[in-house]
Structure 1
Amino acid sequence: MSKSVVAKRYALALFESAQQNDQIAPIQADLHEIKKVFASNKELSQLLDSPNLSVNKKKELLTTLFKDANVYVLNTLSLLLDKKRIDEVVNITDEFTTFANDAAGVAEAKVYSTRPLTAEESESISKVFARKVGKQALRIENIIDPSLIGGVRLQIGNQIYDSSVSAKLDRLRKDLIGS
């Protein structure tokens, strides 16, 4: 995830406040939405970095944009503006997610498949592979990849479990050809 020490510190402070006030899930949801806005709207980042706009105007803009966000999230955004660290908001979101997942015993997983997984398939994959990585559950992001031909490829952190037909065919080809 993030390599920013600053992002980790802000995320930890926000996480501890969220934990004390039983607000982890709502804050995580708000941060996820804010991350999407910042990632998809580069003009917003440029505007917030602009010296032509006062800090108060920037705060008003963020308060208007994210008026339904949790008060802790809004306070964090305001603090980031004050400290000229608003460019860390995406990294802070990633770090907060890491803290929240660790506390809940959850790991993020990407499951590549040729078609959308059913709820039962996702649950089954979560149960089996969560134990393998020492977690209670997996939060699965299903990514459609027709090149797999069949089966699934699972990525949890830097671990990859590949039981796709294309990977099996590649292994068979290497065994037959000898390379």
Structure 2
Amino acid sequence: MARNGNAIAAVEAYVQAYYNRLPNSKIADRLYLDLSQLKDVFNQADADQGEKPNLDLAVKYLAPETLAFLEGLQDNLDDEGILASINAFNALYENKKVFVNVKLTSAVPLSGEQKARILDKLEKRIGEATFFVTEAVDPKVMGGVRLESENHYFDNTIATKLKDMKKHILKD
């Protein structure tokens, strides 16, 4: 049975939202590996002879994160829906090969819009990437934000600016 465009669009929207909410690149890597292996199970089944993929055996070895991803498909958990989700996830993963784990520290919790603006500016500075953000609230920063990753450090906090001013004043 061929799936209609709305069902495929729903699967792709779910995959995009799920991908954007992943907390770190290790989970994305694991999902990619598991989903690629699951796709191989589908490819090994001979559809011409009516052979169905052995999903019971395949699911047994999937990581909990992958099972959670598949559970979110809800009404689209048939063979075609699973394959569409695998293809959509793998396309996102393969198109964004640069992964950046970022720790975002602020004095107060940030809104979704504020985080999006900050990450847009970060992306303009370091290039296109998939950001996996861990948020931390630290009242000691007083205001502003600090972004830390393996290769980048941006500190625009009031606490740091005050320390820099103090150093500058004490020099004179």
TM-score normalised to structure 2 length:
0.46
TM-score normalised to structure 1 length:
0.45
